[in-house]
Structure 1
Amino acid sequence: MIISSNLGVKLVVPTAESKLSQNSPLVNYALNGLERCWLPEHRRWSHIYHLDGRSSPNESVPNSDVFYTLNVLLGMSRVAGIPSGIDLPEIFRRNVLLLTTLPVRKYAFGMALWTAAELGTPIPEPVKSELRAILVDESGWRCFRAQDLGMLLTGVVAQARAGENEWVRYAKPLYRFLKERFQSETGLFFDAPFGLRRRFSSFATQTYLSIACYQYGEFAGDASALVMADTCVRNLIALQGPQGEWPWFFDAQSGRVIDFYEVYSVHQYGMAPALLEWAERFGRRGSRDALVKGFNWVFGDNQLGRAMLVPELNLTLRSQVRKGELTTKAPRVLRALKNAWLGNGERLIDGADVEVRLECRSYELGWILWSFGRRTDLQELTHNCAFGGA
């Protein structure tokens, strides 16, 4: 838009359309989808957008909304053109303060550190105070799950990179705890530092801890962290499904897949690309091909031959799941235990026994923004005709 100033000089003021034109079609697809997940009365994005035709598709779960919102803001930190009306610092402050009043997991505080660093936004003192309490209490780390530790270490490193030196002293102890209690001989990561549950790890386990190791290794110049991350990525690529599926459940003790399902779209187009971007930088062979193959699963190169996109809403379908397991995890738990006990590796089942979970979660779109907000080298994905690209 061109306007005239009092001095008679024409000024060019960027319009919303011109800002968005700086983005790839994939990024704008995700931004448009996030508009549907927005809860204006709360100034945050929703827990679930249901795709089953109900009249009120947005479902709010406050503690999840807040975490997902921080994840979306992290993604937006990498986007060139943000839609008008989105005040990133204001949304961050409003939501991050709720971490001290809502029942959130420790990883939400790690996401707060990471997001604040990427946005260049200060963390309110009440949140800082609670973060210090979490990080000082090393005995409490015994209760951490992988996502807690991975996000806290990534957040601490991100803050240190941004010049917030008060967090630097926590990085080495967190990494040492990761190395001592979460590293397995197979190269996959455990999900917890102690207990019978620790060997049963998810794709998220591998992603968050590997990213943390890459971040810490580069920041601290610690080669052991980079080797750990690279070893995990190498193993994940070896275990990727024939059509690019990223398995959901692993036995870290044996290094096997013990259940492929659910196959989550966010892993295919968001979290795996976030991890593989690091792997590419450090020369892991096959990482780029694995990224593209995994993303093509979303376009329909999957068991169902179905695109996991909802173009009319600019949303995505959450996952492909075994029939009969949409509302219960019990069969999955029993199957994992049996496969681990018997030493079985799991394979994909017949597509006739697979169905789709009809929902989209806002953080999933946030991971698209983070993984592709700055990428210009994968136009077969970012400018695919599925997103309105050429």
Structure 2
Amino acid sequence: MTEFAMVLAMMISSNSGVKFIAPAAIKVPAPNSPLVNYALKGLERCWLPSERRWSHIYHLDGRASPNESLPQSDVFYTLNVLLGMSRVTELPADIDLPDIFYRNAMSLTALPVRKYAFGMALWAAAELRLPIPEQVRRELRAVLSDQSQWQAFRAQDLGMLLTGVIAQARAGEKEWLCFAGPLYRFLKERFQGESGLFLDAPSGFRRRFASFATQTYLSIACYQYGEFTGDASALIMADTCVRDLIALQGPQGEWPWFFDAMSGRILDFYEIYSVHQYGMAPALLEWAERFGRRGARDALVRGFNWVLGHNQLGRTMLVPELNLTIRSQVRKGELMTKAPRVLRAIKNVWLENGGQLIDSANVGVRLECRSYELGWILWSFGRRTDLRDLSHNVAFEQPACLPGGEPQRNGTRIG
């Protein structure tokens, strides 16, 4: 029993004659919501103890060793999980945040990671109030000081780096602030699409083919920069993008995957990723709500409910017996290759097609979960107390156990 509960029980049993209430009858609210605890328990399954990081993929197809490691991906995902944990009230006692951060941040200089991983390290370190290892700091400063390297940035690189720089400055580490203005100007000049959506690259054929992640990372960066510096143009860019995304949200709350950022059209809904529905979109829409974007909250709720079964397959995207989630809904036949998706996007640009969902008979699921997806749950809902229909949904309670210790599947269909 907590100290608070013991004191309350003693007060009730004082000389005032009030009847004593047994400690068992006193209910103190749990620090974490069921949704946050669900994600924390799922992350326990993704943990790689010898490497001190969370895994690239947890496979849900029944294989004997479900965790698959890809070191450069593990490291980035781990930093993303740590970012989420910065917002969690009560963490498991055996999670050593400083040690995990240091080990994985140091790995950034030894592995072939994209520049966005360094941005995530900046962001997570700022939120956790942890120092950045000197070797990582030197490499980051070299990248940020050489603007010729920025031409190779994709949207995620730029968005994460700008967000990380602002997060550091907000935490009092002013040495990074000198990079914020140049990064934002580069974003504004080279990544702002005419349609209101963001482009994916500063130049080249690929830049108009932008993903939902493109929109999320650059919008969050603009919100962060605009709020911290008072630059209204950044807030307007972010709000315009969010407005357009809400207008393009699918009939059951689906967030489309691929856009033509020049015209602002959907090129392909698929894959529809669960992490966008329950993690990344809520992270972005939290900012949009703060700045008064109409419809942001409703869009968040509709998108989240897609995961709970309000989707074209009519199935939950949760795996409650494992406290994990199913990665995506995908066109059948495209689980192992992206080639058809790429060719279809190119064709749809010229034919002005692609803005529709396909027949559900041609849609399947990708049976895997990635640790960073659970990290986004922690970030988006670790501090929210105003969405109890989502964060305290019965779907995130512990599944009932059947005789023999096997957990009941609660209707979740695997395969």
Q: TM-score per shorter chain, which class?
A: over 0.9
> In 2, distance between residues paired with 1:388 and 1:111?
31
User: For the aligned residues, what is the CA RMSD?
Assistant: 1.4
How far 1:388 moved relative to its partner? 1.2
* Residue among 257, 269, 283 paired with 1:274: 283
State the 1:342 CA deviation.
1.8
Task: Quote how far apart the aligned CAs of 1:2 are.
Answer: 8.0
Matched, 1:122 2:131: yes
Normalized against structure 2, the TM-score is what? Answer: 0.89
Contact 1:187 1:255 in 2 (8 A): yes
Tell me: CA distance 1:99–1:19, structure 2 relative to 1, closer, same or farther (3 Å).
Answer: farther
Corresponding residue SS for 2:148: helix
275, 281, 296: which is aligned to 2:305?
296
* 1:233 matches 2:242: yes
Residue 23 (structure 2) aligns with? none
Letter of the aligned partner of 2:356 in structure 1?
R
**Corresponding residue of 2:256:** 247
Query: Which of these residues, 92, 111, 115, is aligned with residue 101 of structure 2?
Result: 92
Residue 20 of structure 1: CA displacement? 10
Partner of 2:52: 43
Q: Distance in 2 between matches of 1:195 and 1:97?
A: 33
Matched, 1:258 2:267: yes
Gaps of 5+ in 2: 4-26, 399-415
Superposition map of 1:95-110 within 5 A: 95-110=104-119
Q: Structure 1 CA distance, aligned partners of 2:62 and 2:161?
A: 38
Distance change (3 Å), C-alpha of 1:19 and 1:147: farther
1:372 counterpart residue number: 381
Question: Between Structure 1 and Structure 2, how many residues are aligned?
Answer: 375
1:200 alignment partner in structure 2: 209
Counterpart Cα distance in 2 of 1:166 and 1:19: 43
Q: Could you tell me which amino acid in structure 1 is paired with residue 332 of structure 2?
A: K
Residue 339 (structure 2) aligns with: 330
**Structure 1 position 313 matched with structure 2 position 322:** yes
Please show how residues 115-194 of structure 1 align to structure 2 within 5 Å.
115-194=124-203
Q: Deviation of residue 185 (structure 1)?
A: 1.0
Q: Which amino acid aligns with 1:309?
A: L
Q: 1:344 aligns with which of 342, 353, 358?
A: 353
Look up the equivalent residue of 2:331 and give its one-letter code. Answer: R
1:178 Cα shift? 0.1
Is contact 1:245–1:268 with CA below 8 Å preserved after alignment? yes
- Residue 304 of structure 1 aligns to a residue in which SS? coil
Q: Is the 8 A contact 1:19 1:81 kept in 2?
A: no
Q: Is the 8 Å Cα contact of residues 20 and 82 (structure 1) preserved in structure 2?
A: no
For the residues of structure 2 that align with 1:249 and 1:289, how far apart are their CA atoms?
Answer: 22
CA positional deviation for 1:344: 2.3
- Distance in structure 1 (CA, Å) of the matches to 2:91 and 2:389: 23
State the match for 1:75 in structure 2.
84
Secondary structure at the residue paired with 1:328?
coil
1:355 corresponds to which letter in structure 2?
Answer: G
Measure, in 2, the Cα distance between the counterparts of 1:271 and 1:286.
Answer: 17
CA distance in 2 between counterparts of 1:294 and 1:242 reads 10
Cα distance per residue 1:242-273 (max 9 Å; x no partner): 00000000000110000000000000000000
* Bigger Cα Rg: 2
* 1:319 alignment partner AA: S
What secondary structure does 2:122 align onto?
helix
- Distance of aligned partners of 1:351 and 1:167 in 2 relative to their CA distance in 1, 3 Å threshold: same
Per-residue deviation, 1:343: 2.3
SS at match of 1:291: helix
> Partner residue of 1:223?
232
Contact 2:269 2:354 in 1 (8 A): no
Offset, 1:83: 0.6
* AA of the residue aligned to 2:333: G
State the shift of 1:341 in Å: 1.6
